[in-house]
Structure 1
Amino acid sequence: MRILYFAYGSNMSSVRLRSRIRSETVKVVGQAYLKDRKVLFNKLSTDESGKANLVESPGDVTWGVLYEMNDSDVEQLDRIEKGYQRIKIQVCQPDGETLEAVTYQSTQLTDDPVAYDWYKDLIITGAREHHLPQDYIAYLEQLPAKPDKTKSKPVH
């Protein structure tokens, strides 16, 4: 079965997603947005940084990338996205069409919502790759980040 997956964090980068899911069946559908949510780096990570997460925010919009993949690919993402729960959402495409998709959201939150700079760069790279609106990219750019003192950075 084919499933639509809405990526709003580092998986917007197709290089990042393909490094995590080595499947020939993952297909980019295009841009999409989610109403009344915004992205913050408030998901508590095991590396002591914040990761992208969706929070309720009436009037705000979260842009992202819609991918089509097999349910086995989504099951693989379930194993990779530790600390997140898969949820069903309604996303809108730029032409106004509404589609059902899945995405990930976490209730494991940090009091220090700051991402590592390399992680934030992955998100911005993905947003630029898929030509998300410039004002949304500017929003992502102003989110807080800090240098990563460790040497273990994932594939860009």
Structure 2
Amino acid sequence: MLAERLRERCPSATFKTVAYAYGWAFSFAKKSKDGSGKATLSAKNGERTYGVVYELDPSELGKLDKFEGRGKGYKRDDHFIVHNQNNTKIKVITYLAEPESCDPECSPYDWYWRLCLAGAERNNLPPLQIERIRQNGYIEDPELDRKPRKDALKILEEIDDV
């Protein structure tokens, strides 16, 4: 959800709207190869999960697939329905964890959790959505030299300076 991170990967990414997915719950249940939890949505009746819709150049979709782990525990859904703030349905692309790649006991690393929280806060998602992320908690990344960790901390430092 954090524009600065997305634009590093897909420079054309342009914010469109805050939207919600009805019947979907947010969690960090997607088990990463490093053992930490990554974000995903899972079907859950009555649930409403907010996020951000970006538009990007179709030529960058392959790059986004790579970064989002398509084929490595995530599938891309090209016909995912969300609702904008006027309750209008919008068809978007999103990435959903494959059930066999999920573990509800997973927790995200501290830096990944901070990226998700920063994205929610900077996009002014509803307080309940922000609180759900905040309450999830995280674990400290034991590998201080992990490249994704370093990249994330750099982005977080840059947005804190703004």
TM score, norm. by length of structure 1: 0.86
Cα displacement string for residues 106-154 of structure 1 (whole angstroms, at most 9, x for unaligned residues): 1112353211111111001001111000111011111131111111203
Does residue 1:34 correspond to 2:21, yes or no? Answer: yes
**Corresponding letter in the other structure for 1:115:** P
Does residue 1:85 correspond to 2:78, yes or no? Answer: no
Contact 2:6 2:13 in 1 (8 A): no
CA–CA distance in structure 2, aligned partners of residues 73 and 44 of structure 1: 25
CA–CA distance in structure 2, aligned partners of residues 27 and 111 of structure 1: 32
More helix by share: 2
CA RMSD of aligned residues (A): 1.2
Return 5+ residue gaps in structure 2 as ranges. Answer: 156-162
TM score, norm. by length of structure 2: 0.83
The structure whose RCO (Cα within 8 Å, separation 6+) is larger is 1
Give the paired residue count.
143
Partner of 1:96: 87
More strand by share: 1
Does residue 1:18 correspond to 2:7, yes or no? Answer: yes
CA distance change for structure 1 residues 75 and 145 in 2, over 3 Å: closer, same or farther? same
Return 5+ residue gaps in structure 1 as ranges. Answer: 1-11
**Percent of aligned pairs sharing the same letter:** 30
**Superposition deviation, residue 92 in structure 1:** 0.3
After the TM superposition, which segments of 4 or more aligned residues of structure 1 sit over 2 Å from their partners?
none
Partner of 1:119: 112
Partner of 1:130: 123
